């Protein structure tokens, strides 16, 4: 009979302070340009620019939510804490800029587009579907604004501390992953509604 | 992870946001027809009351990290005021006016204040 050498469990992984920008300043001019394009499109009130901004930003919002919630989220959940930190400090600052920009452009351009096409009028033939889209977006907005975005920003502040607390990072990342998963699933409803409305 | 006893700021904040979203959906679903404003006004008043109550309850907590809270909330307020302004611009551009415009504008104000507060709170509670 041989003696088995069982290695002692490793100590909790220490998290090193990460050097990164919570809000990537280089991205701000891009956000500003996107918002200027939105203002111009709404002022012009022409079909193509409004449709372009609504479809591009809406598709970006939907795809990112689905990808984060259903692909990246489960992967992130299975990684070690140092690996999560590495991914988080590269991914999350970009999300701080990208998601609010996409959501704002989708909603503002979409509202103007709906006004132009008459699809937001209560007399529109698919009005029930449009109201359903309001409800889906509303639920997603409450989850994203109340849980997801605060967790996103808070985990970045935790990582900037001289001694980040792995438990806090774990807690906030779980919250981020679960809420991203829920909004990702709700985006499927958005796809169903929008393709139905576009198909007439 | 140490947890201080804190008021349920996130839960109250989400309830407040849900109320203004419900009011916005109610109004949007009836446009451009005349719509009774009372349900939307009630939802807005309840939402604003929750916002004020949330802020007061939070600032009364002893030992709460006010400095990081205000630092984060201030910058988030700037960002969310810009996004609220863009949505407001879309409302104005397509001729929304009168009572529905007032209710939706005030709903955007609640949104632009409550979301930064939630972000600041989530950062400050672990500070």
B22-45: per-residue pLDDT in tens?
Answer: 999 999 888 777 888 999 999 999
Question: Domain spans of chain B?
Answer: 9-124
ipTM over 0.95: no
pLDDT on residue B96: 82
Secondary structure of A94-144 in the HEC alphabet?
HHHHHHHHHHHHHHHHHHHHHHHHCCCCCCCCCHHHHHHHHHHHHHHHHHH
Which among A35, A100, A145 is the nearest to B17, CB-wise?
A145
Q: Do A150 and B1 touch (CB under 8 A)?
A: no
Percent of chain A clearing pLDDT 90 (strictly above)? 38
Residue predicted with more confidence, A176 or A192: A192
Would the CB atoms of B123 and A171 count as touching at under 8 Å?
Answer: no
List of chain A residues whose C-beta atoms are within 8 Å of the C-beta of residue B89: 39, 42, 108
Q: Does the structure show a pLDDT above 80 at A3?
A: no
Name the closest residue on chain A to residue B13, using Cα atoms.
Answer: A146
Q: Decide if A171 touches B, using CB distance below 8 A.
A: yes
Which of B8, B27, B90, B116 is the mutation pick for testing A, counting most A CBs within 10 A?
Answer: B90
Residues of B within 8 A of A35 (CB-CB) are 82, 86
Query: Which residues in chain A are contacts of B24 at CB distance < 8 A?
Result: 134, 138
Output the pLDDT for position A17: 61
Q: What is the pLDDT, as a whole number, of residue A11?
A: 45
> What's the confidence (pLDDT) of residue A92?
87
All residues of chain A having their beta carbon less than 8 Å from the beta carbon of residue B111 are 145
- B90 and A111 within 8 Å at the Cβ level: the answer is yes
| Closest of B64, B31, B114, B8 to residue A150, by C-alpha | B114
Positions of chain B with pLDDT lower than 50, given as ranges: none
| Residue A150 in contact with partner chain B when CB distance is under 8 A | yes
Which residues on chain B are in Cβ contact (under 8 Å) with A131?
A: 25, 28-29
Tokens of A194: 């929008």
Mark residue A23 as left, alpha or beta (left: phi above 0; alpha: psi -120 to 50; beta: remaining): beta
What are the structure tokens assigned to A199, written together?
Answer: 């198909």
Count Cβ neighbours within 10 Å for each residue of A80-108 and write b for 16 or more, e otherwise.
ebeebbeebbeebbebbbbbbbbbbbbbb
How confident is residue A162, by pLDDT bands cut at 50, 70 and 90? confident
What integer pLDDT is reported at residue B28 of this predicted model?
87
Supply B62's token pair: 């002893």
How many angstroms separate the CA atoms of B45 and B24, rounded?
13
What is the average pLDDT across A109-128?
A: 90
Q: Say if residue A2's pLDDT is above 50.
A: no
């Amino acid at each position: 009979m041989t003696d088995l050498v069982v290695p002692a469990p490793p100590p909790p992984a220490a998290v090193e302070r990460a050097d990164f920008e919570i809000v990537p300043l280089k991205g701000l001019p891009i956000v500003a340009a996107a918002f200027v394009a939105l203002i111009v499109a709404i002022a012009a009130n022409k079909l193509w620019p409004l449709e372009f901004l609504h479809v591009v930003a809406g598709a970006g919002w939907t795809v990112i939510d689905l990808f984060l919630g259903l692909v990246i989220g489960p992967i992130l959940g299975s990684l070690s804490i140092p690996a999560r930190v590495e991914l988080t400090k590269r991914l999350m600052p970009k999300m701080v800029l990208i998601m609010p920009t996409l959501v704002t452009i989708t909603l503002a351009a979409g509202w103007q587009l709906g006004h132009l096409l008459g699809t937001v009028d209560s007399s529109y033939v698919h009005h029930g579907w449009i109201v359903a889209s309001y409800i889906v977006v509303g639920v997603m907005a409450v989850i994203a604004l109340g849980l997801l975005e605060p967790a996103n920003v808070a985990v970045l502040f935790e990582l900037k501390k001289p001694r980040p607390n792995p438990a806090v990072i774990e807690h906030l990342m779980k919250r981020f992953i679960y809420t991203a998963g829920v909004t990702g699933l709700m985006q499927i409803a958005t796809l169903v509604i929008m393709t139905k409305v576009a198909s007439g | 992870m140490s947890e201080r006893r804190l008021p349920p700021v996130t839960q109250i904040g989400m309830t407040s946001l849900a109320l203004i979203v419900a009011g916005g959906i109610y109004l949007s679903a009836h446009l451009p027809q005349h719509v009774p404003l009372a349900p939307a006004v009630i939802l807005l008043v309840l939402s604003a009351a929750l916002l004020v109550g949330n802020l007061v309850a939070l600032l009364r907590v002893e030992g709460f990290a006010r400095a990081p809270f205000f630092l984060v909330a201030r910058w988030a307020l700037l960002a969310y005021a810009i996004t609220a302004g863009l949505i407001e611009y879309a409302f104005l551009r397509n001729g929304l006016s009168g009572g529905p415009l007032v209710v939706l504008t005030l709903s955007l104000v609640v949104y632009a204040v409550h979301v930064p507060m939630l972000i600041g709170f989530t950062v400050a509670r672990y500070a």
